[in-house]
Structure 1
Amino acid sequence: MAEVTNKANPSHDTTKPAKSEFDLQESMDRAEDFYKKNQNVILGAIAAVVILVGGYFAYGNFVSKPKEQKAQAMIFHAQEYFAKDSFKLALNGDGNNYGFLQVIEKYDGTKAGNLAHYGAGVSYIRLGDYQNGINQLKDFSANDDVLQPLALGITGDAYMELNKVDDAIAAYKKAAHSSDNALTSPIYLLRAGLALEKAGKNQDAIELYKEIKSKYPQTNEGREMDKYLARIGEVKE
């Protein structure tokens, strides 16, 4: 593919959503930082295809593998724009190189195509197009202890921006419990609790705050739980 010749500065999109009380920016930054540091690992780990018998072996070598290689070549420049926060170009390409949407159109079903759903979803949300972001993230899946919870959690953030609080709560809970780890679980349990408070369901929020305090006491969220519990009337024992 040709080198990027776009005269506009690709690293600065002017359209970004306002920061919400649930700190959407922080959540997106966590997702992007993880993605940038682990691109090669993610590409190798997502949606791995198990070859069962000889016929599938031939398909893998002569059809599937070349298709995957082409898809990974296509996604390269979209990933570069994504890393520079140039989300419009990451989505749509620059006229010379493809964006995530073109990768999805041509190579959906490949590992790179699956990853393009994640990149497209995050890009849409960073541009303030929350529903399209949600739709793309729903089409992404990963057997991963961090990236999958992040995708679910970002979906929750987008629902909050759309004021779909019940959907956000469901997404946050799913993100928190899809992988039991101290990096993402307490973050999304807390977000679920805050959303429950907003919905007037304080008792449900208390249960999640106690879960954070019990399971993740050494995390930043765990150390703050007495404050959150006291705020809604649950006295420290």
Structure 2
Amino acid sequence: MSDNKTNTKQPAPAAKNQDFDLQHTADRAQDFYTRNKNVINIGLLAVVVIIGGFFGYNRFVKAPNEKKAQEAIFGAQNFFAGDSFKLALNGDGNTYGFLQVIDKYGGTKAGNLAKYSAGVCYVKLGDYQKGIDQLKAFSSSDLVIQSLANGLIGDAYMELNKTDDAVSYYKKAGAADNMLTSPIYLLRAGLALEKANKPQDAIAVYEQIKQKYPQTNEGREIEKYLARLGVVK
């Protein structure tokens, strides 16, 4: 009688998943670092240099330059306050003018302010294009000051009989959306549009003043501007 033996051999255990073998993973990482350590170390060094350079620049270059620029602009500001616009621009040989401050410290906060002040000086002296150029080079996060700069650019363009450009900058100035400057420059935009024979566009600007700034001087008087263009209550 023969025995029928069933093959009971168990399957071999599955190979260990190397992806989850921590030792194997660590070995691979070490091997990767060994093969690429020069590139990795250079990259890390570059990050350290960039971060260190940023803080070093702020402490040892930017901060001292800011202080020097503030000292340099002081005399020009005094000339400006006394309406001595040529001296404010060019200095007197002993004291820097705004142009020298811009040239030497243009990247500082004082240098940025000098661009605005130089623009005002040029406009006051009747050199409108140079005024426009300086004022366009100026920028400020203060909406009122930026509005004043844009409005003055508009004034300079009007003096150059470039009405469309003037309207564009008056509207930019008005877009600051504050009670102090917005209605003033929106009114100037409307007047410029009237001069350009664009009454409907002027009406739209006047209506904007009426709706948004009724308590301002411009808002209280806006009906007369609308009335002369045929818009009555």
Q: Quickly name the TM-score band, shorter chain normalised.
A: 0.7 to 0.9
* Higher RCO structure, 1 or 2 (CA under 8 Å, sep 6+): 1
Structure 2: distance between partners of 1:57 and 1:216:
46
Structure 1 position 108, deviation (Å): 1.0
2:77 is equivalent to residue 63 of structure 1? no
Structure 1 position 145, deviation (Å): 2.0
Amino acid at match of 2:185: Y
Amino acid at match of 2:230: G
The corresponding residue for 2:156 is 158
Q: Normalising by the residue count of structure 1, what TM-score does the alignment of the two structures yield?
A: 0.76
Structure 1 position 68, deviation (Å): 1.1
Task: Say which of 141, 144, 147 aligns to 1:143.
Answer: 141
Pairwise CA RMSD:
1.0
The corresponding residue for 2:12 is none
Deviations 1:75-98 (A, max 9, x none): 010011111111000000011100
2:120 is equivalent to residue 119 of structure 1? no
The corresponding residue for 1:99 is 97
Q: Give aligned pairs, total.
A: 184
The corresponding residue for 1:209 is 206
Structure 2: distance between partners of 1:143 and 1:203:
33
> Which aligned pairs between 1:1-237 and structure 2 lie closer than 5 A?
53-177=51-175, 179-236=176-233
- Which stretches in structure 2 are left out of the alignment for 5+ residues? 1-49
Structure 2: distance between partners of 1:160 and 1:86:
24
SS of the equivalent of 1:66 reads helix
Deviations 1:115-165 (A, max 9, x none): 000010000000111110000000000000211000000000000011110
Structure 2: distance between partners of 1:54 and 1:201:
57
Structure 1: distance between partners of 2:109 and 2:76:
15
Structure 2: distance between partners of 1:111 and 1:117:
10
Structure 2: distance between partners of 1:53 and 1:139:
29
Structure 2: distance between partners of 1:148 and 1:93:
25
Structure 2: distance between partners of 1:196 and 1:88:
33
Identity of aligned residues (%): 71
Structure 1 position 55, deviation (Å): 2.9
Q: Normalising by the residue count of structure 2, what TM-score does the alignment of the two structures yield?
A: 0.77
Higher helix share: 2
Structure 2: distance between partners of 1:146 and 1:53:
35
SS of the equivalent of 2:143 reads coil
- Which stretches in structure 1 are left out of the alignment for 5+ residues? 1-51
Deviations 1:39-91 (A, max 9, x none): xxxxxxxxxxxxx9443111111011111111111101001111111100000
Amino acid at match of 2:57: Y
Which of the pair has more CA radius of gyration?
2
Deviations 1:156-209 (A, max 9, x none): 0000011110000001001100x1100000000000000000000000000010
Amino acid at match of 1:137: L
Amino acid at match of 2:126: G
Amino acid at match of 2:221: E
